[in-house]
Amino acid sequence: MAKEARGKLEKSFGEQLKTAMDKRHVSRKEIAEVLECSNQAVRNYTLGVFFPKTEKLIALEKFLKVRFVMDNPNIFEPIYENNEKSEPYENLTIAQAKTALSKSLGVPPEKIKILIEG
């Protein structure tokens, strides 16, 4: 039987971890080596079954060059360091811009208003 996410925070973290691993082209095995844990433990983190202890979370952020967003369980993508973005932000539609702002600000897209001048 497949394991399921324990709660919203664990699910959010798991999604953020998977996204960062995909963006950085990092395998579970590499993460396991950095954290000095098993591949199964990393799998459980990505599934949201378990949440890593603080020292492992810090090690993940340093290794992946991200900051995991833990104050909002509705965010599924970490914040990338060095002004890197997960996708190009040029020529976005208004809906895409709202989604991007929503992720970075941690507010629902429907709460974001975009004013266009000119």
| Mean predicted confidence (pLDDT) in 97-106 | 71
pLDDT at site 44: 95
* Residue 53 pLDDT exceeds 80: yes
pLDDT at site 68: 92
Rounded to whole angstroms, the Cα distance separating 81 from 95 reads: 24
* Residue 100 pLDDT exceeds 60: yes
Q: Where in the chain is the domain with CATH 1.10.260.40?
A: 8-86
CB 46, CB 28: distance < 8 Å: yes
CA distances in angstroms from 110 to 22, 57, 86, 99, listed in the order given: 28, 31, 22, 9
- Comparing CA positions, the residue from 22, 29, 53 lying closest to residue 43 is 29
> What's the pLDDT tens digit per position in 5-39?
678 889 999 999 999 999 999 999 999 999 999 99
| Mean predicted confidence (pLDDT) in 104-113 | 76
pLDDT at site 82: 65
Fold of 8-86: 434 Repressor (Amino-terminal Domain) (1.10.260)
Alpha helices, DSSP H only, in the chain?
8-24, 28-35, 39-47, 54-64, 94-105
pTM above 0.75, yes or no: no
- Comparing CA positions, the residue from 2, 28, 1, 9 lying closest to residue 72 is 9
Percentage, residues of the chain above pLDDT 90: 48
Rounded to whole angstroms, the Cα distance separating 29 from 27 reads: 5
